[in-house]
Chain A
Amino acid sequence: MDEGLRSELQKQGVFTTTLEDLYNWGRKNSVWPLGFGLACCAIEMIAASMSRWDLARFGAEVFRPSPRQADLMIVAGTVTKKMAPQVVRLYNQMPEPKYVIAMGACAISGGPFKQGYNVLKGIDRFIPVDVHIPGCPPRPEALLHAFMTLQEKIDQQQLTGEGRARHLNADKPGEFPVPEFGEHNLEPPNNPAVWKAPKLARP
């Protein structure tokens, strides 16, 4: 249905929608996060879910203690190399459709511990991250902004066609390989299907 006709109908008091819009509208307003905090960013996440910032406004106050019931993983904090396999496994155990917010400098890049020997330099090396939030730690407002960004993203996902959402496409994977905690590093150090090392151009 084209936009002109829709707005014309809306002026006459007739509201039209598509199945896709209805589906995404329902989905984006009931994103249940996994109750899962790794480090200090989790405190900000908890604050965001409490009465002052009130994540419940977005339909996302139901923090689930089990990955089986969660739609969204908020990677809130430093992902150590020892923890990374567990994070990926929890992500794999979540049912589709599932989304990831990488919260804070550590989760997106390793942050202040980037040069350390035991910290993963960004969870996006292993699982597909939908929204990155910088900050150390990001304020609850930043998490709310990430939430709204994710809602916009969910709203724009297609139900059919070539560009349809991953959970509707049988060819795209629902599980990602879990790395092993090796002697010197994670094995493999990253998932090449999700992340590629950037080429450094040296002058």
Chain B
Amino acid sequence: MSDYLPVLILAIAALGFAIAPLALAWLWAKKFSPKKPGRDKNAIYECGLESKGDAWIQFRSEYYLYAIIFLIFDVETIFLLPFAVAFTGLSAFGFIEMMIFIFLLVAGLIWACMKGVLTWK
């Protein structure tokens, strides 16, 4: 335990090093600098312009479609590559399993295609 005493001392010194300037600045401000809050100073900062409206607005969550399409191709690539490498040594059961997996992803792609995600507007 006593081996760690220098570490503890160093930790306390480091903490003091970080806290002391902040504490000094705080004490200095208490003693000398009066607080001067105001309408502009407390306002939300926006390049000198007055901020308009509320920050709590609703976002259209249509981006999830792109995330799903990405996932289809991404996951497909990850599994297709080892599948192609190990193709000759694969049993019939493994092959059918892989086909089911690909069918599920293709079904997702067909769904996206029917939803009109793939057409560029």
Contacts and interface: CB of A to CB of B under 8 A. Distances in A.
A72 to B, nearest CB: 16
Contacts of A178: 40
B34 A67 contact: no
A168 B33 contact: yes
B41 A174 contact: yes
Interface stretch (B4-12, B45-53, B80-88, B98-106): B45-53
A96 interface: yes
Which range holds the interface residue count of chain A? Answer: 20 to 34
A170 B43 contact: no
Contacts of B47: 86, 90
Interface string A150-183: 0000000001000000011110011100100000
B39 interface: yes
Contact of A93 (B33, B34, B36, B41): B41
A89 B25 CA distance: 27
B59 interface: no
Contacts of A185: none
Chain B interface SS verdict (over half): loop
Interface residues of B, number: 14
Contacts of A96: 33, 36
B43 A167 contact: no
Interface in B61-76: none
Interface in B3-49: 32-34, 36, 38-41, 43, 45, 47-49
Interface of B: 32-34, 36, 38-41, 43, 45, 47-50
9 contacts: A90-B48, A92-B40, A93-B43, A93-B45, A93-B48, A96-B33, A167-B36, A168-B34, A175-B38
